[in-house]
């Protein structure tokens, strides 16, 4: 790693020099203001700034190093680095120093801090403020990121794609997967009721959760109350039989056993069971109360199955909704529904961008 100190009259000039001398991938590792030093020989400075920046040699970068931090990612919409040496050094700076090293100006720091406080990752918060600043400037000719510009920008990049779309003359099959206790079974009951009673569609429920005591009963009780058939499948053949039996239905909702993201073999078992049942949409169910790390691990865990959409539960218990924004930007998996309570069938709504933005800024 090459380290270089850059002197300039102010931070923006210093950052421009860093980019010019070391390139877009350079990482600012420290900044400091220099006191005016008016030496009699005229060689002193009159209040300047010093930036220490580092750059990875080109051949190392080609060996797997990802994009840099200053002026990074032009890909859509934003991008974050993996944990690497740069990230490690970066993490040693204070939040404000990090924001400045990413190019934010002092007038942007309040908005930036608010986003980080509400759970946005620091890098995404910087990107949002930066882009909102550019958009605000283009629109109003004022170099500031107005709250409305920030909100609109964030709203625009969130991906939501509405409720389950039924097929014409074909049963729509949807399987719900996710960590233990995320709310899969309860959500299936809510959706079953919505499609059967509000939308007057023919609905059937099935469960592959034959591992846990009482799991089948839990779904069956909901099915009995709603007068919706509930079937259980232990393997591929049994599921195929259920699918055939319900060929006249508009919608078949399939429940699965909750598994910790550490159980990496489980998605392959599910894939095997679902193999001959035709097109099955996969919805990953995640609770907003879980750690963000669980979100990422679950996405990784079920990636072999192919996740079509994500459904967030327990919005009523969530404390920090910036994680939803991070999730959307990191994975680009569209949101389907949000659930916000234990009441069946009331506590569910189709996911929408406005809701996420309101929760983040509330």
Query: Considering only residues 195-234, where is the footprint of ligand GTP by CB under 6 A?
Result: 209, 215
- 304: three-class secondary structure by DSSP: coil
Q: With CB cut-offs between 5 and 8 Å by kind, which of ligand GTP, Mg ion, none does residue 231 bind?
A: none
CB of 180 to Mg ion, least distance (A): 8
The residue from 314, 324, 327, 336 that contacts ligand GTP (CB under 6 A) is 314
Instruction: Please count the residues of this chain forming the interface with ligand GTP, following the rule CB under 6 A.
Output: 19
Cis peptide before 345 (omega within 30 of 0): yes
Query: Considering only residues 234-263, where is the footprint of ligand GTP by CB under 6 A?
Result: 258
Dihedral of CA 254/255/261/263: which sign?
Answer: negative
CB of 324 to ligand GTP, least distance (A): 14
Contact flag: residue 207 with Mg ion (CB under 5 A):
no
Nearer to ligand GTP, 23 or 181 (CB): 181
Nearer to Mg ion, 185 or 298 (CB): 185
Query: Considering only residues 171-190, where is the footprint of ligand GTP by CB under 6 A?
Result: 180-186
Contact 263, 302 (CB under 8 A): no
CB of 300 to ligand GTP, least distance (A): 18
Q: Beta partners for 174? A: 253, 281
Query: Considering only residues 332-351, where is the footprint of ligand GTP by CB under 6 A?
Result: 339-342, 347
CB of 173 to ligand GTP, least distance (A): 18
CB of 252 to ligand GTP, least distance (A): 17
Q: Report d(CA 5, CA 311) in Å as an integer.
A: 48
Contacts 24+ apart (CB under 8 A), 6-13: 6/50, 6/51, 6/52, 6/53, 7/34, 7/45, 7/48, 7/49, 7/50, 8/48, 8/49, 8/51, 9/48, 9/49, 10/49, 11/49, 11/51, 11/100, 11/105, 12/105
The residue from 118, 185, 232, 353 that contacts Mg ion (CB under 5 A) is 185
Q: Report d(CA 137, CA 283) in Å as an integer.
A: 40
Q: Report d(CA 324, CA 310) in Å as an integer.
A: 10
* Residue whose token pair is 């009441």: 343
Stretch that binds Mg ion, among 55-63, 177-185, 190-198, 334-342 (CB under 5 A): 177-185
* Residue whose token pair is 């679902």: 274
CB of 362 to ligand GTP, least distance (A): 17
Nearer to ligand GTP, 77 or 181 (CB): 181
Q: Report d(CA 302, CA 193) in Å as an integer.
A: 27
Nearer to ligand GTP, 14 or 177 (CB): 177
- Binding residues (CB under 6 A) for ligand GTP: these are 180-186, 209, 215, 258, 313-314, 316-317, 339-342, 347
- Binding residues (CB under 5 A) for Mg ion: these are 184-185
């Amino acid at each position: 790693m090459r380290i270089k100190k850059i002197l300039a009259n102010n931070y923006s000039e210093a950052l421009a020099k860093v980019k010019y001398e070391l390139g877009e991938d350079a990482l600012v590792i420290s900044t400091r203001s220099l006191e005016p030093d008016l030496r009699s020989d005229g060689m002193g400075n009159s209040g300047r700034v010093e930036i220490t920046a580092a750059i990875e040699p080109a051949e190392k970068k080609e060996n797997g190093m990802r994009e840099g931090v200053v002026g990074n990612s032009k890909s859509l919409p934003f991008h974050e680095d993996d944990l690497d040496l740069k990230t490690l050094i970066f993490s040693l700076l204070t939040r404000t120093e990090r924001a400045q090293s990413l190019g934010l100006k002092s007038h942007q720091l309040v908005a930036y801090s608010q986003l980080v406080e509400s759970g946005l990752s620091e890098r995404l918060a910087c990107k949002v403020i930066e882009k909102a600043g550019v958009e605000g400037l283009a629109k109003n000719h004022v170099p500031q990121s107005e709250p409305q510009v920030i909100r609109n920008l964030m709203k625009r990049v969130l991906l939501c794609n509405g409720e389950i779309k039924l097929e014409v003359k074909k049963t729509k099959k949807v399987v719900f997967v996710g960590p233990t206790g995320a709310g899969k079974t309860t959500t299936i009951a809510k959706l079953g009721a919505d499609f059967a009673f509000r939308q007057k569609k023919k609905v059937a429920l099935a469960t592959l959760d034959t591992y846990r005591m009482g799991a089948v009963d839990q779904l069956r009780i909901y099915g009995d109350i709603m007068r919706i058939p509930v079937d259980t499948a232990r393997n591929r053949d049994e599921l195929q039989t259920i699918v055939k039996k319900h060929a006249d239905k508009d919608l078949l909702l399939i429940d699965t056993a909750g598994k910790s993201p550490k159980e990496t073999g489980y998605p392959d078992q599910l894939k095997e069971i679902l193999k001959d049942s035709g097109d099955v949409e996969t919805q990953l169910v995640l609770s907003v109360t879980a750690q963000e790390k669980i979100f990422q691990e679950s996405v990784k865990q079920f990636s072999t199955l192919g996740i079509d959409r994500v459904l967030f539960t327990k919005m009523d218990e969530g404390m920090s909704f910036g994680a939803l924004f991070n999730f959307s930007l990191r994975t680009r998996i569209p949101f389907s529904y949000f659930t916000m309570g234990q009441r069946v069938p009331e506590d569910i709504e189709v996911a929408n961008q406005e809701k996420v933005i309101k929760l983040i800024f509330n």
